[in-house]
Structure 1
């Protein structure tokens, strides 16, 4: 009988080198909880921020990393209904996903439908729900709108391109030239940020500006996005991968909200963890929509690499290079 399991533990702040694969004692689920045997776990920029000790929603160290998982119900705690042993489920875990097993309250899990693999499920939980909510709950885009996506070849960026295309939106995506084929494949018009300021490049094609911009970078990119959208248009900031300090984050909030008003544009900031902590219901409503699109093959997550849990540190090192197009997924045997 299994009494321990392997997990990727963050013991101190740092880079990928601080992640250690350790054996931990296997626990039974408590009242209202499920124990899930993890089959796949997504890796994203938030995991790097968590490694650095800069993520505001992470518990105190040491912790098990891992933001999102797909797996199989292994044990069911008291008073849990609606789940069965062997059922495939997914969850936004925020932490705890880099592991062979996970115990969490049952209310956080969503069933994975037939036609969606474990790897695909893990690849869409964070990226595609974030993109869906920014498009439909924050920006409320209409068919025929025009949009700009920075970091278009990244995990959330590729999800935005696909979902904006399904929504009938003409989209421009910024990426380096080697990634333009991917941006085009996903239905967007590529813009090489090496060719000049992105606001000028966008305005050369859209003289009146785009209706909405989705910006993952922060800093100077926010200002460029504000100049790229039309008067009355919207800039949605999310992730802000360049913000590693509270001061930098505060500055980016200022740029998004205050500067946008001075320029007669609208600014909004999106954070899936913050929204989930306030009210998990929108996420639990939207993830099944994403799974349905995936089962119908109307979307296809861009999966850059599939790497075993034992090599989680290497996966994080690869992500940190900034060269990855799409999503990295860890798998557990």
Structure 2
């Protein structure tokens, strides 16, 4: 076992660990609480990371509403992703050392001062990079990067539609697509159209009654790709917008209108449509169009693509906006902001 020196007080292995817990479904002000607990000790193959910044995402909103497809049991510590520094490693850890600055995507557990996580899933983070900006690219950035570069193959000058272009994934995806020389049509509420335009995209109200027709007016031949986080019937609209040989990528599903506990039901329509269109494509019935589902996961590609995103930040290509920096006790306010949809960019907790 390796323990840090010089950066933590004596007795650090038993130091207090401030954490945020989600105690059940309901309103964030009542169901999200902050308390203390012991600092974790790393098990075999694991490391303890002192968190510098943890992201707040719609995954936590879905968990709060008991509508996430892979829900941990209440009570639990939320937090999909984090950036921090390794302070202790357990037995059989290789490839990471005490003092390394790293990113992780544990999917829950990041909203605390210290996190125990598998060492093999840690990715390097440049020393000079702001922690909030760095964590904004862990889940959202890699999702955007991989959908654009691994789920599709688009040539310069192609037109794409990005749903939720003012959101955490959408803003990064839009910046990446514009940098690649793509024309981007981005849906957002009218109040956020200026932010979408500033990214180099053409804004469109997502509540437009006949959205496929509005898109076809901007791109008569259809778009080469649609990136959809709505799911359900929204995937039918996205399919109608595609040009021949175009790609529809589904990367989430709206939980609006579903009751708590129906944790997987919002995602069933996307699964059914993806399967049906795969069969139709094999039968030559889709004019070359295809639909796929995307889910971000750690691994070799994740680490490689996150490093590429950090280089783009250094080059001035990419600047993920930070909507708010909150202490751990401010987690309910951050989740409330996401529920209300009133802000642009990523909310981040700073332990």
Distance 1:55 1:329 in 2: 20
- Give secondary structure in 1 for the equivalent of 2:150: helix
Q: TM-score, normalised by structure 1?
A: 0.92
Q: CA deviation at 1:300?
A: 0.3
**Residue aligning to 1:268:** 292
Q: Is 1:287 aligned with 2:306?
A: yes
Residues 222 and 30 from structure 1, CA distance in 2 versus in 1: closer, same or farther, beyond 3 angstroms? same
How many Å separate the matches in 2 of 1:324 and 1:13? Answer: 23
Deviation (angstroms), 1:195: 4.2
Partner residue of 1:126?
A: 139
Q: Which of residues 207, 210, 224 in structure 2 aligns to 1:211?
A: 224
CA contact (8 A) 2:277 2:290 kept: no
Match for residue 302 of structure 1? 321
Residue 121 of structure 2 corresponds to residue 105 of structure 1: no
1:183 equivalenced with 2:187 (yes/no): no
Q: What's the counterpart of residue 250 of structure 1? A: 268
Contact 1:113 1:295 in 2 (8 A): no
Q: Structure 2: give runs of 5+ residues left out of the alignment.
A: 1-10
In structure 2, the CA distance between the partners of 1:259 and 1:322, relative to structure 1 (3 Å rule), is farther
Deviation at 1:180, TM superposition (A): 1.3
Q: 2:75 aligns with which of 55, 58, 62?
A: 62
Choose the corresponding residue for 2:23, options 5, 11, 30. Answer: 11
Match of 2:343 in 1: 324
Match of 2:35 in 1: 22
Say which is worse superposed, 17-26 or 55-64, in terms of deviation.
Answer: 55-64
Greater C-alpha radius of gyration: 2
**Structure 2 CA distance for aligned equivalents of residues 324 and 177 of structure 1:** 13
Matched position secondary structure for 1:139: coil
TM superposition score normalised by structure 2: 0.87
Structure 1 Cα separation of the partners of residues 121 and 27 of structure 2: 29
1:96 aligns to 2:121 (yes or no): no
Q: Confirm or deny that 1:233 pairs with 2:257.
A: no
Deviation at 1:293, TM superposition (A): 1.3
Number of equivalences: 327
Q: Is the 8 A contact 2:253 2:266 kept in 1?
A: no
Counterpart-to-counterpart distance in 2, 1:81 and 1:251: 42
Q: 1:51 and 2:64 equivalent?
A: yes
* Per-residue deviation, residues 4-29 of structure 1 (Å, max 9, x unmatched): 21111122233423112121111221
RMSD: 1.9
1:256 deviates by: 4.1
Question: Does the 8 A contact of 2:160 with 2:224 survive in 1?
Answer: yes
In 1, Cα distance between equivalents of 2:306 and 2:165: 21
Q: CA deviation at 1:217?
A: 1.1
CA contact (8 A) 2:21 2:75 kept: yes
> Which is further off, 200-209 or 214-223?
214-223
CA contact (8 A) 1:58 1:94 kept: no
Q: How far did 1:263 drift?
A: 5.3
The superposition leaves residues 219-243 of structure 1 with CA deviations (integer Å, 9 ceiling, x where unpaired) of 2321211111113311111111336
Shift of 1:196: 3.5
| Number of the residue aligned with 2:8 | none
